[in-house]
Chains A and B, each alone.
Chain A
């Protein structure tokens, strides 16, 4: 059983999450830089996210005519908040900020908060293109959330518990990824989908001039774009206790294994992203509901039979 985390862990969590997000964004920028030969060096590319963040902090915030400013700002603020709250149930080694009985449900609920966040952020500025961005995220939610929830449920089913620490405990000896590969794959697809990033970046698509982000500048923009990285890190990190055995591993302490596994999942997501164009949800929906949902159901059936015969 995990120990209760000290109170300061709740304060460290957002900082750690931000550092991880900056590192992930820097890695992404370095990978992106090589397409541009003669461009900036590795160091310049790696520091680009930090410089961009500082630039946005110093930039004027703009408002649009007849904008619902309060609504938009609630939405923008919710993006990083949802990420931090979701990450609260991720155990770092044996310690997590919170370990409620319904940890998996909590995580999922925080994701749904992100739906509301982007929708409100897109609605707020009273501008058609940002509204389209908001619509797109709702469609995206419909497409990815059902298979995603099944994947979460399968991990809970395998552990016979929704408490995250018990899910980790149930993977003693055999990680869930080994006998639930389909659920893991479905979960990995939903990590970029939930953070509306990479192949699932349609809500902020360039074809709608930035979509939900089209009208935001300054701190507002930083909250939305930075919050997106936080969400990606939180989702990638949660795949570790769910499917990759949490902090289990030889030699190193638990927190180090969690960190390493999270970094590996993040790196894989960032590398794979470059191979795919942005997915349009009316096409992806077909794939999600006709292929992923049945696949996840078969996986659930298999896991249920194993659990019943244990």
Chain B
């Protein structure tokens, strides 16, 4: 005992947590994030950095196959909990802490491999082999590992349509083409006309500060994005209203919703987007501040109590010359082009690059702050991301507008561009438009 017994309890006090959000679970994500911040538990950037895996949202009948990979990628000692309802968040994290302290894992999101004849030891070895098999594995690795326990993973986003990938057709150019059972990366011309390795990589659904439920198949050369294909989003929970546009949708359905309520939601939504963009830009402190203000807003804090903090944040972010220098001229979307594509809301108003879109959010945050006490009924259907058209939700339009901006951008720039649009996949997967 002694030190060995004390260690798990001591290290379980503030375990790094990897939060995975299932489609349509924004409310649960926000609850878990608020609870994590309250406890001071760090958020892990990936499975390798995590001790606890928290899955926010309803999983439905079909287990997302990638979830098992993520779980396998978390090094032991590890624990798993699921947060199905926003109210469950504090209790679930209590359970997580207890599991880690006692060295138990919790009900894994996937039944442990049943096909392994070697019992526990065999399974352990297999866990090791699968250790890196999360969404961060070698992009060409998927689908080629004929392991008996993975036959049912074929619908993993990264493993679809094998035959159509250009990288795979290039294999003839390599001696052998397969190293240690994995195919080599293919080659293609890059933007300077050089023939370089081209890697295929599924981005999402588990990446830090990434829109929940989004999966993009990208081809990379070095760290330059060559092409992007979107995977159709997984179905969300039926009958759920997208959290951020809820007040407007409810008003459209005939409910009485005040403008103040809607503006509060808009303000929180933009703070969420700003927090995400700043986190992607690698500025953790104001990102955390934006998220803290967002949570206080959603918990109903009074306007005059919040206003100084919000204004301090918006002024500071808008006034940062370094941030401006790092985000100008990225992902330009002129208003004319945006209008043609049907974009509405902040991305249309911004008429420009990543920094312009950020500034529109900041301006709207300040404006919404002053409209939060308005008790008149909501009119019009302009949610935080644009006009709420039931046939073509604004986030669909945003995705269609932003994907063509990604090829040619470096990985970091591509992530900034995506974060500056911040499409909300809940609008696409939520079947319930109230």
Q: Mark A250-274, 1 if CB is under 8 A from B, else 0.
A: 0000000000000000000000001
Among A57-65, A81-89, A239-247, which stretch is in contact with chain B? Answer: A57-65
Chain A residues at the B interface, C-beta cutoff of 8 Å: 32-33, 35-36, 38-40, 44, 48, 51, 54-55, 58-67, 125-132, 135-136, 199, 201-202, 205-210, 213-218, 221, 274, 276-280, 282-283
5 sampled A-B residue pairs with Cβ under 8 A = A40-B14, A54-B7, A58-B11, A215-B46, A279-B326
Chain A neighbourhood of B37, CB < 8 A: 36, 39
The answer to whether B282 touches A35 (Cβ under 8 A) is no
The answer to whether B412 touches A207 (Cβ under 8 A) is yes
Q: Nearest Cβ distance between residue A184 and chain B, in whole angstroms?
A: 21
Q: Which residues 48-76 of B have a CB within 8 angstroms of A?
A: 48-49, 51, 73, 75-76
For residue A54, which residues in chain B have a CB less than 8 angstroms away from its CB?
7, 10-11
Across the interface, B223 reaches (CB within 8 A) one of A40, A132, A277, namely A132
* Nearest CB in chain A: distance from B331 CB, A: 14
Q: Is the CB of B136 within 8 A of A59?
A: no
Alpha-carbon gap, A300 to B284, bound state (A): 37
B120, CB-defined interface residue at 8 Å:
no
A35 x B411 contact (CB < 8 A) = no
Bound CA span A62–B125, Å: 11
**Which of B179, B222, B285 gathers most chain A CB within 10 Å?**
B285
- Given A66-B181, A129-B201, output 19 extra A-B contacts at Cβ < 8 Å: A35-B288, A39-B37, A60-B131, A63-B131, A64-B133, A64-B138, A67-B132, A129-B46, A129-B136, A132-B220, A202-B412, A205-B412, A207-B416, A209-B45, A209-B136, A214-B136, A215-B48, A276-B322, A277-B278
Q: How far is the CA of A44 from the CA of B201 in the complex (A)?
A: 39
Contact status B138-A127, CB under 8 Å: yes
The CA of A62 and the CA of B127, in the complex, are separated in Å by 9
Task: Note all chain A residues with C-beta closer than 8 A to B11.
Answer: 51, 54-55, 58
**A278–B416 alpha-carbon span in the complex (Å):** 12
Instruction: Decide: A35 and B289 in contact? CB cutoff 8 A.
Output: yes
Set of chain A residues within 8 Å of B223, measured between Cβ atoms: 132, 135-136
> Is B289 a contact of A205 with CB atoms below 8 Å?
no
Chain B residues with CB under 8 A of A201: 282
Is there contact, CB below 8 Å, between A63 and B138?
Answer: no
Q: Taking A38-B38, A58-B77, A62-B75 as contacts, is the C-beta distance between A221 and B49 under 8 angstroms?
A: yes
Asked if B77 and A59 make an inter-chain contact with CB atoms under 8 angstroms apart, the answer reads yes
B107 within 8 A of partner (CB): no
Which of A40, A61, A128, A201 counts the most chain B CB atoms within 10 A?
A128
* CB neighbours of B366 from chain A (8 A): none
B322 — which chain A residues lie within 8 A by C-beta? Answer: 276-277, 279
Q: Which of A61, A65, A199, A277 contacts B141 (CB 8 A)?
A: A65
Q: Let me know if A60 and B40 touch, CB within 8 A.
A: no
Mark out the residues of chain B between 1 and 46 whose CB falls within 8 Å of any chain A CB in the assembled complex. Answer: 7-8, 10-11, 13-15, 37-40, 45-46
Report chain A residues within 8 Å CB of B279: 206
Once the chains bind, are B49 and A125 in contact (CB under 8 Å)? Answer: no
Q: Is the CB of A63 within 8 A of B129?
A: yes
Cβ of A61 and Cβ of B45 under 8 Å apart? no
Contacting A280 at CB < 8 Å: which of B8, B13, B75, B413? B413
CB distance from A289 to the nearest CB of B (A): 15
Residues of chain B lying within 8 A (CB to CB) of residue A39: 37-40
Inside 8 A of B413's CB, which chain A residues have their CB? 280
